[in-house]
Amino acid sequence: MRHTISVLVENKFGVLARVSGMFSGRGFNIDTLNVAPTHDASLSRITAVLKGDEAQLDLCIKQLRKLVNVVDVVDFKEGQAVDRELVLVKVRATAQSRSEIVQIADIFRAKIVNLAADNLIIELTGSDEKVDAILALLEPFGILELARTGRLALKR
C-alpha cells in the first residue's frame, strides 16, 4: 500500500539521512522523496511516498517523531491533501510531429519551455495519473530525457 508522509524538520545537517534511514530500517521502499526549505528558512519539508503496510507505517511514524530535529509528522490519508508532481520531459520532435506534440501538451495544460530543432522540453504539473497519462502519449515520439520531482503534498 502507498502512503504519503510529510515530515517537517529543522533545516540542519544530517536530518535527511536520519529520516530516510528510518524508512529503510523499517522495511519501506521509498517511491519518491522530495526535500525543500519552507517559508521559514530554519525548516524543511520532506515529502515521501512509501510502500508498506499500516502496522509498519504506525511504528515508523512513532519512531520519526522521536528523532532529533523532527518538528512534525503527518500521514496523509486519501483525500486529506492536495498533491502534485512536476515533470520536465524532453521529447524528440520532427517537423512532422511537432504540431501533434504541442496539441498533446495543450490538452494537458502543459507548457513548452524549450524549443530546439529536433526536440521540445515540456513542463507539466499535476497528479501522478496526469503525469503518467501524458508520458504514455509522448512515448511513441521518443522521450529523450525525463526529470520528475516526486509527489509534493499539503494538508487541505
Is the pLDDT at 106 greater than 80? The verdict is yes
- The whole domain housing 123 covers 82-155
Confidence at residue 44, expressed as pLDDT on a 0 to 100 scale: 95
> Could you give the C-alpha distances from 60 to 13, 114, 125, 153, in angstroms and in order?
21, 42, 30, 19
Q: How confident is the model at residue 132 (pLDDT cuts 50, 70, 90)?
A: very high
Q: Which three cell numbers stand for residue 110?
A: 502543459
Extract the C-alpha cell encoding 100. 501533434
| 3-state per-residue secondary structure call for 98-121 | HHHHHHHHHHCCCEEEEECCCEEE
C-alpha 143/C-alpha 119 separation (Å) is 9
105 and 143 in a single domain? The answer is: yes
CATH code at 93?
Answer: 3.30.70.1150
| 54 pLDDT more than 90 | no
User: Does 100 score more than 90 pLDDT?
Assistant: yes
Confidence grade of residue 59 (pLDDT, cut at 50, 70, 90): confident
| pTM summary value | 0.82
**Residue finishing a domain among 46, 76, 106:** 76
